[in-house]
Amino acid sequence: MKPLSYIIMACLLISRMACQSQIKNQTTESVKIYGNCGMCESTIEKAGNVKNEASVDWDKDTKMATLTYDANKTSQKDILKRIALAGYDSDLFLAPDDTYANLPDCCQYERAKTTSKENDMSKDHAMHEGHDMAGQDKHPLGAVFSSYFEVKAALVGSDGNLASSNAKALVTAIDAVPMEALPNDVHMAWMKVLAPMKEDAQHIVDTKDIGHQRDHFITLSSTMYEVLKLTEQETPTYYQFCPMANDGKGAHWLSKDKNIMNPYYGSKMLTCGKTVETMETKN
C-alpha cells in the first residue's frame, strides 16, 4: 500500500491537471515566488488558483511557479497580486509586512527585497522627473488619484451617473498600477488597501444611488488617504472632514482645493466641513 503522502500528491496532481484542462486560451509562464515548505505550496496555489481561469503549480525546491491562465480573463499580475496578498513575495509584488509576519514560522522565508531595489531606483528617477500630483502622468499612482478626485467632483454635484462612470475609470486605473514602479513604503501601503479600495470603487460603479455611492466613498477616502500621504507632491492635498456625514459619525475626504466642497451633501450643505490635515509638498 502506498504511503498516504504519495496518495495525497497523486490526488493533487490529478486535480491540477483537471483544472488546467478546463482553462481556455491558455497562456503558460514561469515566475519566481518566494516560500519555504509544503504549507507555503498549498497557500500559494490556493491563492493563485481560480476555477476555469488560472492554475498555479509551485515548486518549493526551486521556488519557481508555473502559471497557466486564460489570458482573456486574467493576467500574470492579477495572479501574483493574489499570492502577494496571501503573504508571498514575487519579483513584481511584495506581500504586506503584517501579512508576512502572520505566516507560520516555518513559512517565513528570507525576503529577497528584489522589488524594493527596483522601487528605490524608480523613486530616484521619479524625483528627477519632478513627479507629483501636478504631473499625474509621471506618477505610478497618478491616474488613481486623478480618478478619485473625479469621483469626488461628481458626488459634490450629486450626479450618480457621472460618479458611476468616473468610478469605472478609477477601477481601471487601480488595475493598471505598475507595482514595480512604487517606492517600497508606498508599495506596502498599496498592497494593504488594494482589495478594499477596488471593492468600494466597484460598488460606486454598480449603482446610480447617490446615497449608496457616498457610503462607499467614505471608506474609499480612508484607504486613498493611507497611500496618498506617502507620495511626493508639488501642490498640497487637503484632508477634510464633515461632522454631519455618516449618520453623525463624521467622514473624511481628500481635496486639491482648500475650499470646502462637501461630497456627502452637495448643494444641501456644500461648505459644511473643515480641513483637518494639509499634506504639504515634499522636497
pLDDT surpassing 90 at residue 277: yes
Model confidence at 7, pLDDT cuts 50, 70, 90, reads low
Q: Where are the alpha helices (DSSP H) in the chain?
A: 4-21, 38-48, 76-85, 97-101, 114-129, 142-156, 160-175, 184-205, 210-228
Average pLDDT, integer, range 235-263: 95
Q: Give the model's confidence band at 93: pLDDT under 50 very low, under 70 low, under 90 confident, else very high.
A: confident
Assess whether pLDDT exceeds 70 at residue 68. yes
Residue 276 sits at φ, ψ, to 5 deg, of -105, -15
Q: How far is CA 192 from CA 172, 208, 263, in A?
A: 18, 28, 25
| pLDDT given for residue 14 in this prediction | 52
Whole-number Å distance between alpha carbons of 136 and 181: 14
Strand partners, 27: 69
The predicted structure's pLDDT at residue 138: 65
CA distances (Å), origin 215, targets 164, 247, 263: 13, 10, 11
User: In this predicted model, what pLDDT tens digit does every residue of 180-215 receive, in sequence order?
Assistant: 888 888 999 999 999 999 999 999 999 999 999 999
Give dist(CA 11, CA 141) in Å, integer. Answer: 43
Asked whether residue 24 carries a pLDDT value surpassing 80, the answer given is no
- Rounded-to-integer distance, Cα 204 and Cα 196, Å: 13
**Which percentage of the chain shows pLDDT scores above 90?**
63
Average pLDDT rounded to a whole number, residues 40-53: 92
How many angstroms separate the most distant Cα atoms in the chain?
Answer: 77
How confident is the model at residue 119, as a pLDDT?
A: 39
Mean pLDDT over the full length of the chain: 84
pLDDT level of residue 3 (50, 70, 90 thresholds):
low
Predicted confidence at residue 52, as pLDDT, reads: 87
Please give the average per-residue pLDDT across 77-103, as a whole number: 89
pLDDT average, residue stretch 153-172: 96
The answer on pLDDT for 9 being more than 60 is no
Phi, psi (rounded to 5 degrees) for 148: -60, -45
Cα gap 264→159, rounded to integer Å: 12
The fold of the 24-101 domain, in CATH, is Alpha-Beta Plaits (3.30.70)
Q: What is the pLDDT of residues 120-160, one digit of tens each?
A: 333 332 333 233 333 444 688 999 999 999 999 999 999 99
Given a cut of 50, whether residue 249 has pLDDT beyond it is yes
The least confident of 110-114, 151-155, 251-255 is: 110-114
What SS3 class is residue 27? Answer: strand
Q: Residue range 151-173: average pLDDT? A: 96
Strands in 237-242's sheet, in edge-to-edge order, are: 251-255, 237-242, 274-279
Arithmetic mean of pLDDT, 80-109: 90
pLDDT of residue 81: 87
For residues 218-244, give the mean pLDDT. 93
- Residue of 118 and 225 predicted with greater confidence: 225
Show me where the domains of the chain are located: 24-101, 118-279
